[in-house]
Amino acid sequence: MVVLKGIPHILSPELLYALAKMGHGDELGLQVPELLAAILKLFPLDTYTHSAAAVMELVASDKLKGLTVPVWDTFTQLLSDAGSQAPLEKVERFAFYERAKRAFAVVATGETALYGNLILKKGVIPAELLQ
């Protein structure tokens, strides 16, 4: 349990360590909106890429069913609140799995929302904000 002021309690010491060790362009695979909200308080998103957040694209059968993914709206809102106006990148299922394998860190949670996985790309903090 993290017991420091200003650090959301949902962020474990191990996760804080991984976030701190990540470099520009490293990726973090995660689930669950509550965790995303906490991470975005500390984590600069990459602004030098088309999108700093990627989700798994619906498989063909789910597209045919017209499946909606409400958690994506939640992700988009949380990312927007953190200053990102870029759309979610949609990545083909198996390409998403491969990309997650190469992520700097993967955070396993109890998220049960369909298509509730998300990959974030870390950015940099501008020098003028490092005070």
What's the fold here for domain 13-124?
RbsD-like fold (3.40.1650)
Hey, which residues does 56 pair with through a beta bridge?
A: 91
Helix, coil or strand: residue 35: helix
CA distance 30 to 108: 6
Hey, which residues does 20 pair with through a beta bridge?
A: none
Tell me, yes or no, if 46 is annotated catalytic: yes
* Catalytic pick among 48, 50, 73, 97: 97
pTM of the model: 0.83
Tell me, yes or no, if 73 is annotated catalytic: no
Residues in CB range of 108: below 8 A, 6 or more apart: 31
- At 26-51, the pLDDT tens digits run 888 766 788 999 999 988 999 999 99
* Catalytic pick among 9, 24, 48, 73: 24
Tell me, yes or no, if 97 is annotated catalytic: yes
- At 100-131, the pLDDT tens digits run 999 999 988 778 899 999 999 999 888 887 77
Q: How far is CA 114 from CA 28, 62, 63, 102, in A?
A: 19, 10, 13, 22
Q: Where are the domains of the chain?
A: 13-124
